[in-house]
Structure 1
Amino acid sequence: MRRIWKSFRALYFASLLMLIGSGLLSTYLGLRLAADKTDSLWVGALMAAYYFGLVLGGKVGHRMIARVGHIRAYVTCAGVVTAAVLGHGLIDWLPAWVVLRAIVGVGMMCQYMVIESWLNEQAEASQRGLVFSGYMIASYLGLVLGQLVLVLHPALGLELLILVAMCFSLCLVPVAVTRKIHPAPMRPAPLEPRFFIKRVPQSLTTTLVSGLVIGSFYGLAPLYAARQGLTNEQVGLFMGCCVLAALVVQWPLGWLSDRHDRAVLIRGCAGLLVLAALPLAVMPTVPLEVLIPVGFVLSLLQFSLYPLAVAFSNDHVEGERRVSLTAILLVTFGVGACIGPLVAGGLMRQFGPNMLFAFVCFCAAVLVLRIRPDAVTHLHQVEDAPLHHMSMPDNMTSSPLVAALDPRVTEQIVQDQMQTQPTTVEDPADTKST
């Protein structure tokens, strides 16, 4: 692991800085609007715009990288994101903030794509699992540190926006000065939505619900905590503990996923999530001593859904389609993450802040009803299923290229997917599997 860290430390450090800035910006905007007593629907709209930008950035990033190359694309997007962040301090008009958040999302997705394609190009097949683990740790650590900045500096002044802009400016330095060989040009993986809806419907449902829940949580949890009377330091501590739970759960989740039926685990996590969110949904006020442990447990469960959906779907999709599968999963997640904050924000406006967790309860209950382990036919299960569980980012801190780091996807398959535009023919005999 030490040798891997030394080889990829520049890319890991760039990812760390990006996620510090992204995590801090999301919480800062939520708290800033809460302090101004802004309608919660606007807070949801900002987060929805960010995820819309991430989804759109998958298409924009491919075209930009193909046209100007990886380093120029990364530097360009880092500059645009920095300007968009500073724009929040220059303009107080909320519709403009929505546009700026979408621009940040587009730019960050392009940055993710550059870093992940670079990691894939430089990683040996035997190291992909460790390389990806290092990337995931850097991403989650950045998100946690971004929240903890508020503990050290709770004032919601322009200096926090300047700090976010500094993070996005500095994250381009390790990439701009690297002596690594540029990754090969790439083309977008085909989405094939109809094929995957037939083949892995339950996995896509889980991914959509995960997007609804995670998008709402990231966008509106700081607003919820502020309306519970928490100070900015306490909000930062609460959010930091919740994001930390997302990192902590990955390894025990992987152990369980490799040993038990993944459909059962998804349904079990969803059922427990209903129970964990219920106290926060019914209690109008919650003290900090209760909020932090309950939020930690709730995050353990809600951040488990997307990784389980990824592992579950990979068990039933052939290797040559796994890059496309990752793309459709991230798009599905993004759609949910766009819708969730808007719906939850509207509910919070009408009925109070605890409606955020009532919405989480409802989404998890839908998943309990929708996921049916006995309906899995195993007709298309791959030969080596269940495949080894890979801990995946579950808040879209990744691009469709992240599948290339999965050691279950061979180098030849990845090369074929990235450098040629495959023509796929849907098998009319395909039936629902997961």
Structure 2
Amino acid sequence: MRQIWKSFKALYFASLMMLIGSGLLSTYLALRLAADNVDGLWIGGLMAANYFGLVLGGKIGHRLIARVGHIRAYATCAGIVGAAVLCHGLTDWLPIWLLLRVIVGLGMMCQYMVIESWLNEQADAKQRGVVFSLYMIASYLGLVLGQLILVIHPQLGLELLMLVALCFALCLVPVAMTRRIHPAPLHPAPMDPKFFIKRVPQSLIAVMGAGLLVGSFYGLAPLYATQQGLSTELVGLYMGCCIFAGLLAQWPLGWLSDRYDRPLLIRVFAFILAVVSLPLAIMPTVPLEVLFVAGWLSALVQFCIYPLAVAFANDHVEAERRVSLTAMLLVTYGIGASVGPLVAGVLMKVLGSQMLYAFFSVTGLVLVWRIRPNAVTNLHQVDDAPLQHVAMPDSMSSSPLVAALDPRVDEQVVQEQMQDSVEPVVEPEDPHPGPLPEEESADLRKD
């Protein structure tokens, strides 16, 4: 593991700095608007705009990387994201902030794609699982540290925006100075929504539910904590504890996932979520101890649903389709994460802040209703399923190419999915060459 860390420390540091900035920005904007008594609908809208940008970036990122290369694409997006962050300090007009959040989400998705494709190409097939685990730790650690900055610096001034921009400037340095081999160009993985809707409908429902939950949590939990009377320092500590719970859950979750039926586990965790969220849903104000304990437990189980749904979907999709599957899951998750904060924001505005956890509880019950283990026919189950569980970050810190780091996916399949394998055409030295062989002629016509 030490050798892996040494080989990829530049990319891990870049991921860490990106997620510190992203995590801090999301909570800062929620707290800033809450301090200005802005409706929760606007706060939810900002998070929805961020996820819309992430989904949009999944499409645009491929084209940008293929056009200018990994390092130039990463540098371009890091600069744009940093500028967009600073623009938040130039105006208070909320429609502009919505646009800026879309830009930040789009740029960050391109950065994720650069790092994940780079990690996959440079990692040995036998080490890909460890490489990905360290990447996930760096991502979650960045989100936690971003929240803890508010404990150290609770003033909601422009200094925090400058600190976020500083993080995106620093994440550029290790990638720009790396001496590792430049990855090969990417081409988009085709996505077939009809195929996946027919093949893994329950997985898509679970992913949609996870998007509703996690998108609402990131966008509106700071507002909820503020309306419960918590100071900025305590809000940062609350958010950091909840996100850290998501990281702690991944390893025991893997043990459970490999030993028990995954649809059943999704249903059980959804029911636990509905139960543990209930005290915060029915009490307008709660003691600080109850808030932290119930909030920590709620986050612990809601961060389990997405990895289980991803693992369940992979059990029923062939290896050559898994990069496309992850793209489909990202889009589904993004739709849920865009809708969730808007719906929860309206409920909080009309019925009070406790409606955030009422929304979590109801969403958990809907998943209990819709996820039916008995309805799984296993007609399309892949060989050796259920596949070994691989811990997954939520889609706020990953791209469709994260599937390429999954050690269960055959490396040759990954290369075919991610790389443009067409060789450059070399001009013949003979000014009057003879006819080309039939295969070469067909290749040139195709190019």
Q: Give the TM-score category using the shorter length.
A: over 0.9
Residue 433 (structure 2) aligns with: none
1:129 & 1:9 partners in 2: Cα distance?
16
Residue 412 (structure 1) aligns with: 412
Amino acid at match of 1:381: Q
Unaligned runs of 5+ in 1: 422-434
2:397 & 2:191 partners in 1: Cα distance?
19
2:212–2:336 CA contact under 8 A, matched in 1: yes
Matches within 5 A, 1:250-269: 250-269=250-269
Amino acid at match of 2:329: L
2:82 & 2:418 partners in 1: Cα distance?
29
Residue 231 (structure 2) aligns with: 231
1:330–1:396 CA contact under 8 A, matched in 2: no
Residue 434 (structure 2) aligns with: none
1:396 & 1:32 partners in 2: Cα distance?
21
1:190 & 1:363 partners in 2: Cα distance?
31
State the secondary structure of the residue aligned to 1:393: coil
2:323–2:400 CA contact under 8 A, matched in 1: yes
Residue 68 (structure 1) aligns with: 68
2:184–2:420 CA contact under 8 A, matched in 1: no
1:150–1:236 CA contact under 8 A, matched in 2: yes
State the secondary structure of the residue aligned to 1:236: helix
Matches within 5 A, 1:172-187: 172-187=172-187
Residue 435 (structure 2) aligns with: none
Report the alpha carbon displacement of residue 10 of structure 1 after superposing the two structures with TM: 0.3
The answer as to 2:194 corresponding to 1:188 is no
2:390 & 2:9 partners in 1: Cα distance?
21
The answer as to 2:90 corresponding to 1:100 is no
Residue 292 (structure 1) aligns with: 292
Larger displacement relative to structure 2 (355-364 or 5-14): 355-364
Residue 142 (structure 1) aligns with: 142
State the secondary structure of the residue aligned to 2:188: coil
Deviations 1:237-292 (A, max 9, x none): 00000000010000000000000000110000000000011111100001221111
Residue 111 (structure 1) aligns with: 111
Report the alpha carbon displacement of residue 416 of structure 1 after superposing the two structures with TM: 1.2
The answer as to 2:373 corresponding to 1:373 is yes
Residue 126 (structure 1) aligns with: 126
Report the alpha carbon displacement of residue 16 of structure 1 after superposing the two structures with TM: 0.2
Residue 211 (structure 1) aligns with: 211
State the secondary structure of the residue aligned to 1:303: helix
1:200 & 1:77 partners in 2: Cα distance?
34
Report the alpha carbon displacement of residue 396 of structure 1 after superposing the two structures with TM: 2.5
Residue 13 (structure 1) aligns with: 13
Amino acid at match of 1:28: Y
TM-score, length of structure 1 as denominator length? 0.96
Residue 426 (structure 1) aligns with: none
State the secondary structure of the residue aligned to 1:115: helix
State the secondary structure of the residue aligned to 2:118: helix
State the secondary structure of the residue aligned to 1:396: helix
2:192 & 2:378 partners in 1: Cα distance?
20
Residue 384 (structure 2) aligns with: 384
Residue 275 (structure 2) aligns with: 275
Residue 439 (structure 2) aligns with: none
The answer as to 2:329 corresponding to 1:329 is yes
Identical aligned residues as a percent: 73
1:154–1:232 CA contact under 8 A, matched in 2: yes
2:9 & 2:71 partners in 1: Cα distance?
17
1:43 & 1:139 partners in 2: Cα distance?
24
Residue 84 (structure 1) aligns with: 84
Matches within 5 A, 1:157-168: 157-168=157-168
Larger displacement relative to structure 2 (411-420 or 139-148): 411-420
Deviations 1:136-174 (A, max 9, x none): 000000000000000001000100000000000010000
Report the alpha carbon displacement of residue 408 of structure 1 after superposing the two structures with TM: 0.7
Residue 441 (structure 2) aligns with: none
Give the CA RMSD over aligned residues: 0.8
1:214–1:395 CA contact under 8 A, matched in 2: no
Residue 341 (structure 2) aligns with: 341
Residue 350 (structure 1) aligns with: 350
2:262 & 2:16 partners in 1: Cα distance?
31
Residue 25 (structure 1) aligns with: 25
Residue 244 (structure 1) aligns with: 244
1:51–1:338 CA contact under 8 A, matched in 2: yes
1:14 & 1:393 partners in 2: Cα distance?
16
The answer as to 2:176 corresponding to 1:154 is no
Report the alpha carbon displacement of residue 304 of structure 1 after superposing the two structures with TM: 0.3
2:286 & 2:163 partners in 1: Cα distance?
31
1:419 & 1:136 partners in 2: Cα distance?
23
1:52 & 1:328 partners in 2: Cα distance?
14
Report the alpha carbon displacement of residue 420 of structure 1 after superposing the two structures with TM: 5.6
Amino acid at match of 1:40: G
Amino acid at match of 2:367: L
Amino acid at match of 2:259: R
Report the alpha carbon displacement of residue 361 of structure 1 after superposing the two structures with TM: 1.0
Larger displacement relative to structure 2 (393-402 or 250-259): 393-402
Report the alpha carbon displacement of residue 395 of structure 1 after superposing the two structures with TM: 3.8
Residue 59 (structure 2) aligns with: 59
Residue 431 (structure 2) aligns with: none
2:194 & 2:395 partners in 1: Cα distance?
24
Larger displacement relative to structure 2 (411-420 or 159-168): 411-420
State the secondary structure of the residue aligned to 2:396: coil
Report the alpha carbon displacement of residue 419 of structure 1 after superposing the two structures with TM: 3.0
Report the count of equivalent residues: 421
2:20 & 2:272 partners in 1: Cα distance?
30
Residue 303 (structure 1) aligns with: 303
TM-score, length of structure 2 as denominator length? 0.93
State the secondary structure of the residue aligned to 1:89: coil
